[in-house]
Amino acid sequence: MKPFILFISVLLSLSAFSQNKEEEYTKVLTQRAEKIVNTLNIQDKAVYDAVTKAIVNQYKSLGELHDKSDADIKASKQNITDKTAKEAAIKTLETELNASLYNLHCAYIGALSANLTNDQIEKVKDGMTYGVVQVTYTSYQDMIPTLKPEDKKQLYAWLVEAREHAMSAASSKEKHEWFGKYKGRFNNYLSKQGYDIQKERKAWEERVKAKGGTL
């Protein structure tokens, strides 16, 4: 009887630990979501709570998708010995993840649309990606004051596209990598337009330094 009682006690302890861990995780996500929602000027508490819950659920769903994909890819690497078959399996899993992330993203934006305006949704997107769109957009204009309207339009379009991907990234690092990818694309675009990026950056640094600042 004693071993059975001990077994039950261990199960209960593990269950309580798991529950506490889940509650703490939800608390952290809720705090993160509320920081975003607090920028939206929502007066209705029911709407405030609904939007907060939608953001928390999105973070949880993203975590579950990425964790499952990581586990499946790890298993494929360990269990499949043939290199070609292994690469094919991993590619399939990555494709499945991207499809799931896209569907989740669309459903998420739909859920936000039920309670928020387009401008508010933009703020949610920026909140989930650390405001990188506006920071980068402003920085490029500071660096290259001679950017043409069509150049600015292209830059902004690519930054917004990067943000859509970054919203579903697994980590802060991966979010910034998405923006880095599109910044590289824009730099190549500028080079083709005749801009000397290195020269422009150096001149920008000198202008900022002359004002007592640093980049």
pLDDT (average), residues 52-66:
98
Is residue 215 a part of any domain in this protein? no
- Domain final residue, candidates 93, 127, 161: 127
How far is the C-alpha of 66 from the C-alpha of 169, rounded, in Å? 9
Q: pLDDT confidence of 16, banded at 50, 70, 90?
A: low
Q: pLDDT confidence of 212, banded at 50, 70, 90?
A: confident
Is residue 11 a part of any domain in this protein? no
95 with 175, same domain: the answer is no
- Domain final residue, candidates 85, 111, 127: 127
Look at the chain and report how many structural domains it folds into: 2
73 with 144, same domain: the answer is no
**What mean pLDDT value characterizes the chain?**
93
pLDDT (average), residues 134-151:
97
The CA-atom distances, in angstroms, between 60 and each of 64, 97, 150 are 6, 15, 39
| Residue pLDDT, tens place only, 144-199 | 999 999 999 999 999 999 999 999 999 999 999 999 999 999 999 999 999 999 99
163 with 122, same domain: the answer is no
- Domain final residue, candidates 127, 149, 183: 127
What's the pLDDT score for residue 12? 53
154 with 141, same domain: the answer is yes
What's the pLDDT score for residue 10? 47
Is residue 114 a part of any domain in this protein? yes
Six token digits for residue 121: 């949704």
Quote the domain boundaries for residue 194: 129-210
Q: pLDDT confidence of 11, banded at 50, 70, 90?
A: very low
Angle between helices 149-166 and 132-143 in degrees, nearest 10: 150
Q: What percent of the chain has pLDDT over 90?
A: 86
139 with 162, same domain: the answer is yes
122 with 28, same domain: the answer is yes
122 with 134, same domain: the answer is no
Q: pLDDT confidence of 9, banded at 50, 70, 90?
A: low
123 with 206, same domain: the answer is no
118 with 78, same domain: the answer is yes
Residue 17 pLDDT > 70: no
Six token digits for residue 12: 């209960």
Is residue 166 a part of any domain in this protein? yes
Is residue 145 a part of any domain in this protein? yes
